[in-house]
Structure 1
Amino acid sequence: MRPDVVQGIFFNAYFVLYHLSLKLAHRIVGYLEEEAIHSYSKYLMQIESGAIENIPGLVIDVDYWRLPKDATLKDVVTVIRANEARHRDVNHFVSDIHFQGKELRESPAPLGYH
């Protein structure tokens, strides 16, 4: 199946799911983020083992993530993995709040979340 068709199906299914159950929608995103963390961890292991060359980070990545000018691919992947972890934590937090029958405005955000 063509990727654009799959994306269209997923988008529409997720749109409906989000309106039916916020807690399930956010939980699913939390689990997707967990899978991304696993993938980035494997990528880092390949960089660390030398299977993938630890080249200098691309300028666009270094600038976007506000890394030092001498940042490497490993630095970029590390910060991206940390960002995915934050997304995972926030989505699971939101799901937990909805599971408790509360609204987000009734609950303090997790530490470090802005």
Structure 2
Amino acid sequence: MLSPYSTSNNRSSFATMSCVRLVFNTATLWNFGSINKEKILNHAIFLETIAAIPGMVAAIIRHFRSLRNMTRDRGMLNMFLEEANNERMHLLTFIRMKEPGTVFRAAVIGAKFGFGGFFLAAYMINPTWCHRFVGYVEEEACHTYTRILHKMEDAPRGSELARWKDKDAPKIARGYWAMGEDGTVYDEMKAVRADEAKHRDVNHAVSGLPDNVINPLYDPREKMDVMLKGHDGKGGKQAWRESFMPSSVLLLSLMAAA
């Protein structure tokens, strides 16, 4: 974990994350009683509905700033859109395993209004602080999914968690992470944890990155080169079509899985 005590910015963002974690874990009863399938899904679904907010907020604010200033965003906007969509896909895979009830949905709506409003205001004031905060949140998400994986691994044979661990992952998850037909719930949890680790590293890396610097993690010039030239040196419309072909194939597979 990045030291939360190195700067005042880190200290305040870490303290805020700790408060959010306490409220969230209490609301989902995560630290009370034993961990079972029902508790894991409740925790994961609630977590992912909140986790999809920061990336979209960052992208929207940067989008409007780009329009207002008539300048490019240097590769940040698209990266955060992808992050938000990735978190949303986590949610869509989990709700294939559990249908949230009315009370749960009401709690999610309330949490989204509260956290969404807070993060929107915070990002307009201090984006650097927000990305550090999200980095710490994603670190906690990694710890959470690691704990879930350990519980699955240590579950006694024949128990609910042991049976669930080896159950087929939903089709949408197998398609999204290219797991193949044999992808399991355990594989899905590992894939989600890997995504959260990536978001952790990205947000810590861009926290404090000057506005006039090209995003080193998502350089738009490289993507433009691929789109215009292609990896094999071809140019024109053929390379443009090929650059979008994987996304089209993925979209069709997800539509079929849904």
Fold shared by both chains (TM-score > 0.5): yes
Task: Tell me what 2:143 maps to.
Answer: 38
SS in 2 for 1:105: coil
Task: Tell me what 1:94 maps to.
Answer: 206
Distance 1:104 1:85, change over 3 A: farther
SS in 2 for 1:63: helix
Task: Give the TM-score taking structure 1 as reference length.
Answer: 0.82
Whichever of the two has the greater Rg, that structure is: 2
Task: Tell me what 1:81 maps to.
Answer: 193
Task: Tell me what 1:20 maps to.
Answer: 125
Distance 1:64 1:16, change over 3 A: same
Q: When the two structures are aligned, how many residues end up with a matched partner?
A: 107
Task: Tell me what 2:169 maps to.
Answer: 57
1:103 paired residue among 211, 218, 224: 211
CA contact (8 A) 1:94 1:104 kept: no
Q: Percent identity?
A: 32
Task: Give the TM-score taking structure 2 as reference length.
Answer: 0.38
Deviations 1:51-104 (A, max 9, x none): 51212212121111111210111111101100000001001111042xxxx126
User: Which ranges of structure 1 fall in alignment gaps of 5 or more residues?
Assistant: none
Structure 2: distance between partners of 1:79 and 1:31 = 19
Task: Tell me what 2:226 maps to.
Answer: none
User: Which ranges of structure 2 fall in alignment gaps of 5 or more residues?
Assistant: 1-26, 28-105, 224-258
Q: Which has the higher contact order (CA 8 A, sep 6+)?
A: 1
Cα offset, 1:14, TM superposition:
0.5
Between 1:61-70 and 1:37-46, the stretch displaced more is 61-70
